[in-house]
Amino acid sequence: MLRVGLAQVNATVGDLAGNAEIIVEWTRRAAARGARVVVFPEMALTGYPVEDLALRASFVEASIAAVRDVAERLNVEGLGGVAVVVGYLDRRAGLAPRTGVPAGAPLDAAAVLHGGRVVITSAKHHLPNYGVFDEFRYFVPGNTLPVFRVPVAENGDAVDVAVAICEDLWQDGGPVAVCRHAGAALLVVPNASPYERGKDDVRLDLVRRRAREAGAALAYCNLVGGQDELVFDGDSILVSASGELLARGPQFEEALIIADLELPLAGPAPQGADGEREVQPDAVGSLPHSPGVGEAVDAGDGTAIVIERIELPDMPLPLGDISEMSGRVGGGERSGRVGGDERSSRAGDGEETGSDGGARERADGTLGRAGDGEETGSDGGARERADGTLGRAGDGEGTGRAGRAGARDRAGDAGTFWPRLDELAEVYAALVLGTRDYVRKNGFGSVLLALSGGIDSALVATIAADAVGPENVHVILMPSKWSSDHSVTDAEDLVERQGINARTIAIQPIVDAFRDGLGDFPVAGLPAENLQSRVRGVINMAVSNDEGHLVLTTGNKSEIATGYSTLYGDSAGGFGPIKDVPKTLVWALSRWRNAEAERLGRTAPIPVSSIEKPPSAELAPGQLDTDSLPDYAVLDKLLDDYVEKDMGSAELIAAGHDPGLVTRVIRLVDLAEYKRRQYPPGPKISQKNFGRDRRLPITSRWREALPG
C-alpha cells in the first residue's frame, strides 16, 4: 500500500521564499498523515505562469537554488523520507543559443526531492501554444520520463512512480504513452490548468482515458489561485489504472487530498537504478537528469522519450501518531483502501457531500462557502457567513504560508471526495478567487468602485465583499442630474445590506466646471455623456491615489465587446471582476447569490430592483441600454458565436442570427478593439476572454462581408 498526498496549493509568481514555505508546510502535514509521496502543482516553487521571467537568467538561477534549498530543508526538518514531487523552473545545459530557441533554454520542470537531495528531474515534453499559453516562447521541451522507486514495506517491497507534467496529459504521445512501457504503477502529474466553464468534466474524462493508456493509477494535482487574468481551480483527481475515480479534491480552495493506493509491486531493479547516487550540479548550476543508463522509447509523437530511473532508499517518516490514521483517507471519514478496482467504502460515485449533506458550522460560528475554502451542500449551493456575506478564503485559515494560520486540508469535512459546485456556484467562486488574489498578491488591502444602483456595479460590489470582506470595500455614489431616484436608493440599499463603506459625491458641479473650462462644449450628445463618465473616473482615481484602494471597474463582457464603455471613464481602474461575464450571466449570478443568502435565512446582498429594472447608463434623460444595443439575450448569443467561436458572417447567419444584426454587431466589436486593449485585466471564466485568449490587430481593414 502506498499513501499519496496531493497538495493543491496557492502559489504566488516570483515568491520563491513564500512558495518554499508552502511546500515545506504542506509536506509536513502530509507526512503527519503518513504519506510517502506528496505531489505539488506545476511550477509550485516559482508560481505559474512566469511568462518572460523564464527568460531571465537571474530568476532561473534563483529557482534552481531554491529547489535545492527546499530539499535540504525538508531533510533538516525530518521530512527527508517523504518523496516530494514539486514543479520549478530549470534550464537545459549545453544547448547552444540559436534563433527560435528561448534564451537560456528554460525548462518547465519537476523535481523529486528525497533525503535532502534533488534525486531526479524532468521537464514538460508537450508545450502548449494555444489559448492563453505561449510556451514555445518560454521553454524548450523535455524528453525524459523519470521513474522513481518508492519502498512501501520493510521487506523491500516497492512501487514504481512516474512523473509527467500538465500538457503531457492533454496531447497524445510523449511521456504518458511511454509510461506503460516503463511499467510504472502510478503516474503523478503536477498541473497548472486554468479554470473555464465546463472544463472540470473534460478533465475527468481525460484523466481516466490517460490512466487506461498508461496502465497506471494517475494522480492529477492542480494549482489553486488567481494570477492576473487566470484562475486555477484545484479540483485534483486520483483514478485507478482502469479509470475509476478514487479521490477528488475541492474547487477553488487549497486542500490536501490523502489516499491509500493498492498498487502492483515493482519487479527487480532495472539496470541503471542507483539509490546511493549523488546528484551533482553541472558547471552552470542547473540540475541534470539522472546520469544512469536510460532507455529510449518511441513516444508515438515523432520523438523518443528516455526512461530514467532512480531507487529511493528506505528512510523513516517523521515520528507522530500516524498509527491511528491507518485506514483513513485524508484523515476524514473512514474508507477502505483504494486502488485497482476497489471502491472507497463511502456510498455513491465520489461526488457526494458529508453524511447529512447540510452546512457545517465553524468554531467561530460562521459557515463555509462555495469555492475558496468554503464547501457546498449536497445541492452545490454556497454556504454563507452569519453576517450575510460569503466567507473569504482562509477567513482565519490562511494560505499555508509560515507565519499565518495554515489553510485547512479540509479532510475532516469530505474524506476523499469534496462536494461539486453547480455551474453558477463555480463561476462565482472563480470570480471571487480571481479578485481576492489579484488584490492580495499585488499588496492592496482594500478596493474602491463606483456604485450606481445598477446591476453591474451591484454584482462587482458583492464579489468584492465576498473576496476581501465588506470592511475593505469602499464605494462612491456619484449621482448626476440624470440619475434616477431609484438608482440612488438602490445603491444606498446595497450599502446597508452588505455593510460596505460608502460616500456620496454629486458630480454635476464638477461636470459644469469642466464644461465651462472647455468653452463651447456641447450640453448633450455623446461628448457630454462621456464627460460625465470621465469625471467619475477622475474621482475614483483621485480617491484611490489618496487612500490606496485598488479601483475595480464594473464593465461586463457584452459592453466591452461592443465598445459600450468610455475610455478613461468607467474603464479606468486596476481590475475588472466581471470583464469576462456576459450581461445575461451577470443577472443569473446576481439572482443565484441572492438565492443562496435566502436559502440560509440571510439578507440578500443585492436589491431586487437592481436586478429587475431595465439597464441604463443614465448619462442622458430616459436613456436605456436598448437604445444603443439589442436585447442582451439576443446580443449575448451572437457575441458568443462571433467572439468565442470565431464564426464569420456567413456562419453567423447560417446559425440563425439576423443578417442586419450580424452586420451591426460585427462592426461594433471590430471597431472597439482599441478600447479593449486599454481595459484592465479581469478573471477569465470563458473559453475565450478578451486579453490573453483573443488577439486581433487594432489597425485592420478586414471587414466581414455578408454572403452574396
* Rounded CA separation 580/228 (Å): 13
In the structure grid, which three cell numbers stand for residue 218, read together?
494517475
**Residue that the C-alpha cell 467561530 belongs to:** 364
Question: Does residue 49 have a cis bond before it (omega within 30 degrees)?
Answer: yes
Strand partners, 100: none
Q: Report DSSP letters for 471-504, one per residue.
A: GGEEEEE---TT--HHHHHHHHHHHHHHT-EEEE
How far, in Å, CA of 556 to CA of 552, rounded?
Answer: 12
| 325 DSSP 8-state letter | G
Enumerate the active-site residues: 42, 124, 166
**CA angle at 143 for the pair 138 and 145, rounded to the nearest 5°:** 120
> Helix count (H) and strand count (E) of the chain?
19, 20
Could you tell me how far CA 373 lies from the centroid of its own chain?
13
Strand pairing category for 304-311 and 295-298:
antiparallel
CA distances from 97 to 106, 191, 303 (A): 12, 29, 22
Q: HSE on the CB side for 43, CA within 13 Å?
A: 27
Element of type H or E holding 187? strand 186-191
Cell numbers found for residue 40:
505539488
- C-alpha cell of residue 345: 467504502
Pairwise CA distance, residues 12 & 15, whole Å: 6
Contact 206, 169 (CB under 8 A): yes
DSSP run (H or E) holding 608: helix 608-612
**How far apart (Å, rounded) are the C-alpha atoms in residues 256 and 261?**
16
Q: How many whole angstroms separate alpha carbon 405 and alpha carbon 417? A: 24
- DSSP code of residue 644: I
Helix, strand, coil percentages, rounded to 5, for the chain: 35, 20, 50
SS3 (DSSP) at 466: helix
For residues 177 and 209, the answer to whether their CB atoms sit within 8 Å is no
Nearest to 675 by CA among 580, 556, 562, 581: 562
